[in-house]
Chains A and B, each alone.
Chain A
């Protein structure tokens, strides 16, 4: 019972946050000077028909929310309006049907372009995040166990250094080194590979993944190591560790059975809170390595002034982070029996 209620509460909160992001997204792109609808109408790439289509789609002849606000760029409509006849309602209704608009650059539905990119980003972040967690946790455990030895200080210094590196810069250094050492210079696959057998395609993608994943792993590993180390040190000075030692358990048993699970809890919190930064990393890494993901879509959206893509990519990134955050919180509640009884 408690579990279901806890789950529903978290789910409701996530939906509320998504609603906030949807509204924020609408106002950002309608209120700030670079209004995409008007930009779209002025864009030289648009034909007359497509301008009319944009007008229809955005409901540009309708008020934004009502006629009182300055948020009504075309100063049309009257003050006694039907809420279903506002730009915001049209925007929300379109979103709900999976309609994110048409890309100026590709002249194709934004949602089609972004869906494949979403999975590319998930692939890259997933691989990097898993490696960073495994390595960060292992190094952190060893450093805490051997606290105040030269091994600990060495690991600590390297982690602080890794933490201080700008993501895109580390990526550029790897790209520079990799392009002189036989690594692919970017993208997700070698052009023309799509006709090759599946196994060769997979090997090709993996080769393309090596450097971006490595960059990602190094950037996040330092932080995970620092957190794991300090949280394990906290746990190891707790009374129940003394109890375990007094019970006759050896060092390995104490670490495995009593310390790790407890020490993982703060790390899970940080991983959940970090998902936003994770996307910041993805934007930079995907840009450097031309990895066709959501992060690169953001960059391309900016460079090409392709606002429907930018808007859609931002929304999709935000929603993915919220969903991932929800999953992390539910995971936390499984690890810590105290959470649900609050």
Chain B
């Protein structure tokens, strides 16, 4: 079934450089740094045209010119020999930049080769090279440079060579880890499998991916080289025949600028060094943003409801008989995307949860399941906002509660079993300690003995020996970590437990164990559970009701037997076709072509229309409303709408 959608965006073709430039120019720091750097390079190149005097000649200078303050004749004043500071500054830029660029070229060549060789060849080569690297890292570099230059000759090339030969230690470490990361990429393995030689692989596959990193690193290496040059010159080890900023400061320091009160003799050359190094640092920050972007969003934000006009307000589901434990009505969650535009990641979702009920929340990855769950307890990242709807739990609207009130509901009222327990447990605290923390948070007065007993009881409940409570998460197996996570979720006797894909990344046997455990705990403790999963088989076996989500929209919400026996939404039908059925071993399995829509590219009409085999013309135009088919069966599809 060919599937071409008019809604699919055609990416604009850009060369890598255009791409790089577009992102780079968005970052103001990097741009400022680049401009500042180009400016000082121009100064150095055109020094002879810019300098009002020739600083290498003492013609026409007499003793009354020494340490003269800034004047129209000498805008930056004069130095200890009566020379014009401005001219010295302009010529000094040459030496600093030449040393910086040449020395860092040597360092990058050495560091790059050592890093790539160590990372690529591995084994003994790597051990020897990295051990050598470790030794060079701890040897204080400036001290060694001083010793070598003091014992040889302080000439420009000597300084470049010494700084270059000692400045590679950080580069090689970074390049090595990048090479290791690149080496295991699929196409490199493939190139090797078809018999490509080492040379070919390094030049064609490894280098192109290591170079950007080397470029970011180069900026740091150049600035370190310039700082080292100035420090060496200041210590009297600069080339005595040349003018550099460090040399100017050496003369100012050694020849009485301080006692003469000649502040300009300190400020002018220092300004040059700070200018270049700061320009490089800013440039480095800008490059870093391009090659290694960080979102800088974290979990410490406090989300509140922000009312925003949302397209159309739809009716909520028909209220069912007994007062439910949790009622979610028209919950909408909006994400601010990196470009600044906004997208509804969860669009008017409503459902209820009774005491002891188990609800299955299904859908492919990226359909807003986790966002919806985090939204219930306002645990969304900074970019996410609840923009409409209510979450009624135990007589309170969780969306309207203050942060303090909400903290009491978290874990004690509703607890979450996060997916991937390796990352959800703090690696530097013991499992028992993290359990104690949860209990103590909601029952601060509990005596220590009772606390310890409770921890043992909880671990026992999930089948972990109480002796292991002093262990760290990395000492547990994957299945044990997930069970510890479940124990932690139960720590405060919550009424509702949200299990967010609790079995991802576990092997099949362990998956079954975990699900069985959840089932038995539900019976034993009378828990209400929301099980987030994409396994319809598990849902059929364990759940009472099912909420199918697609592209942030509730596609279908119904009791479990209705969904399996009379699915109404085409997406639900396709999902069911993709799962084997024990009762019908001859069933032909099929998968749905294509992927769920991306948040920055949501279709205008029904979110499923581009992949739907029975879509009508209006499906790609209008988002369907919610249709209540009775018997607690709710569908959002044009096909079931009454005409």
Interface residues of A (CB under 8 A from B): 13, 17, 20-21, 24, 28-29, 32-34, 144-145, 147-148, 160-161, 163-169, 172-173, 175-176, 179, 230, 233, 236-251, 253-255, 257-258, 261-262, 265, 273, 275-277, 279-280, 283-284, 287-288, 298-299, 301-303, 307, 310-311, 313-314, 317-318, 321-322, 325, 335-338, 341
Contacts and interface: CB of A to CB of B under 8 A. Distances in A.
B138 A279 contact: no
Contacts of A163: 281
A205 to B, nearest CB: 22
B426 A34 contact: no
Interface of B: 134-135, 137-144, 146-148, 150-153, 223, 227-228, 230-231, 234-237, 246, 249, 252-253, 258, 263, 266-267, 270, 273-274, 277-278, 281-282, 285, 294-300, 302, 374, 377, 379, 381, 407-412, 415-416, 418, 420, 423-429, 437-438, 441-442, 472, 474-475, 488
Contact of A176 (B153, B263, B410): B263
In order of increasing CB-CB distance, the 8 nearest A-B pairs are A236-B298, A280-B142, A34-B151, A239-B423, A279-B140, A164-B277, A248-B410, A164-B278
Contact of B379 (A238, A245, A310, A341): A245
A255 B426 CA distance: 13
Nearest to B170: A273
A251 B407 CA distance: 11
Contacts of B146: 283, 298, 302
Given A169-B266, A248-B411, A321-B138, A161 B278 contact: yes
A32 to B, nearest CB: 4
A318 B137 CA distance: 11
Given A283-B142, A337-B428, A257 B437 contact: yes
Nearest to A232: B298
A164 B281 contact: yes
Contacts of B267: 173
Given A240-B425, A280-B140, A283-B235, A248 B408 contact: yes
Contacts of B410: 245-248
Contact of B141 (A33, A147, A261, A280): A280
Given A32-B152, A283-B235, A310-B147, A336 B274 contact: no
B124 to A, nearest CB: 17
B451 to A, nearest CB: 15
Contact of B285 (A160, A314, A318, A341): A160
Contacts of B296: 147-148, 233
Contacts of A247: 410-411, 437-438, 441, 488
A17 B253 contact: no
B140 A276 contact: yes
A233 B141 contact: no
A169 B249 contact: yes
A215 to B, nearest CB: 13
Contacts of A147: 296-298
A338 B472 contact: yes
A307 B266 CA distance: 30
Given A236-B300, A302-B150, 20 more contacts: A13-B134, A28-B151, A163-B281, A164-B278, A169-B274, A172-B270, A175-B258, A239-B420, A241-B299, A246-B379, A248-B409, A280-B141, A280-B228, A280-B231, A302-B235, A314-B144, A325-B138, A337-B428, A341-B474, A341-B475
A279 B142 contact: yes
Given A302-B146, A310-B147, A160 B281 contact: yes
Contact of B270 (A169, A279, A283): A169
Contact of B426 (A176, A262, A273): A262
B236 A243 contact: no
Nearest to B284: A160
Given A28-B151, A262-B426, A176 B266 contact: yes
Contacts of B299: 236-237, 241-242, 245, 254
